[in-house]
């Protein structure tokens, strides 16, 4: 159970206890009213006492209504705060997705077609910034944030995004450990870029 679920469960338990107490108070109040109405006074002094008792009951009813109103307000406020927290988390994740898309597009800009555009690559690809974005993606934990349905696409996004950086680093533009033709390198990076776009779109649909 993640942090959000534990917090929600605790709040629900508190609300349930309050509801039970209010229900019991309402039941007791109903019994008092029923008893009062079945024993109407006949003398003026008795009427005065009865009116005083009725005033006390009315005060209890008023307090009961105030408590109910406050409880509804607290619930509405708690729901609003939870929704606001979730929206801020979603916005942060989506902003990071935008950055990842921007960096993936910039890195892949020099690998369009079948020939590497080295000047365009040098002007658009910043390895350090690319890797910092990857580090930020790897730091995300959507289970902790309360969005488990988005975890699969996040993992695939990380893999596709990381594949672009690894392909460039291992090519002749990096340490040269991979002996790939420019055409194969372009196709590899273009495929990874498409996957990045695909999984970011899926995350947007899930997170709204």
Per-residue pLDDT tens digits for 61-108: 677 777 777 888 888 888 888 888 888 888 888 999 999 999 899 888
Is the Cβ–Cβ distance between 124 and 107 less than 8 Å?
A: yes
**Phi and psi of 206, rounded to 5°?**
-75, -45
Percent of the chain at pLDDT exceeding 90: 22
This prediction has a pTM of: 0.64
- Do 156 and 102 share a domain, yes or no? yes
**Phi and psi of 112, rounded to 5°?**
-80, 150
Kindly report, residue by residue over 62-72, the tens digit of the pLDDT.
Answer: 777 777 778 88
pLDDT for 183 beyond 70: yes
Q: Report the chain's mean pLDDT, rounded to a whole number.
A: 78
What is the reported pLDDT for 67? 77
Q: What value does the mean pLDDT take over residues 158-163?
A: 93
Last residue of a domain, one of 81, 99, 115: 81
Please give the residue range of the domain that contains residue 135: 86-207
Dig out the tokens for 175 from the structure: 């340490």
DSSP conformation class of 208: -
- Do 118 and 203 share a domain, yes or no? yes
Structural domain count, the chain: 2
Q: What value does the mean pLDDT take over residues 117-138?
A: 86
What is the reported pLDDT for 198? 95
Instruction: Return d(Cα 200, Cα 208) in angstroms, integer.
Output: 11
pLDDT for 19 beyond 80: no
- Do 58 and 135 share a domain, yes or no? no
What is the reported pLDDT for 125? 84
- Do 94 and 191 share a domain, yes or no? yes
pLDDT band at 11 (very low <50, low <70, confident <90, very high): low
- Do 68 and 110 share a domain, yes or no? no
Helical H runs in the chain?
3-37, 44-108, 118-124, 127-139, 142-145, 151-170, 182-207
Last residue of a domain, one of 56, 81, 106: 81
- Do 49 and 136 share a domain, yes or no? no
What is the reported pLDDT for 195? 95
Task: Give the residue with greater pLDDT, 39 vs 144.
Answer: 144
- Do 106 and 144 share a domain, yes or no? yes
- Do 70 and 91 share a domain, yes or no? no
Instruction: Return d(Cα 40, Cα 2) in angstroms, integer.
Output: 58
- Do 111 and 173 share a domain, yes or no? yes
Q: What value does the mean pLDDT take over residues 58-63?
A: 72
The region of weakest confidence among 13-22, 45-54, 76-85, 163-172 is 13-22
Dig out the tokens for 57 from the structure: 């009951």
CA end-to-end span of the chain: 23
Instruction: Return d(Cα 142, Cα 199) in angstroms, integer.
Output: 14
Cα maximum dimension of the chain: 109
């Amino acid at each position: 159970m993640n942090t959000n679920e534990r917090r929600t469960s605790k709040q629900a338990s508190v609300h349930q206890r309050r509801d039970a107490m209010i229900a019991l108070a309402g039941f007791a109040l109903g019994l008092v009213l029923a008893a009062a109405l079945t024993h109407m006074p006949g003398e003026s002094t008795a009427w005065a006492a009865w009116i005083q008792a009725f005033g006390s009951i009315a005060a209890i009813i008023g307090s009961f209504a105030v408590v109910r109103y406050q409880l509804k307000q607290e619930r509405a406020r708690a729901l609003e705060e939870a929704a606001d927290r979730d929206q801020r988390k979603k916005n942060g994740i989506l902003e990071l997705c935008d950055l990842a898309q921007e960096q993936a597009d910039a890195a892949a800009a020099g690998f369009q077609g079948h020939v590497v555009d080295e000047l365009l690559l040098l002007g658009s690809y910043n390895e350090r910034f690319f890797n910092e974005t990857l580090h930020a993606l790897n730091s995300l934990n959507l289970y902790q944030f309360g969005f488990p349905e988005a975890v699969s696409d996040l993992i695939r996004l990380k893999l596709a995004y990381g594949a672009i950086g690894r392909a460039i680093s291992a090519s002749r533009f990096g340490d040269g450990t991979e002996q790939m033709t420019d055409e194969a390198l372009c196709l590899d990076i273009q495929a990874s870029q498409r996957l990045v776009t695909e999984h970011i779109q899926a995350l947007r649909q899930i997170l709204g």
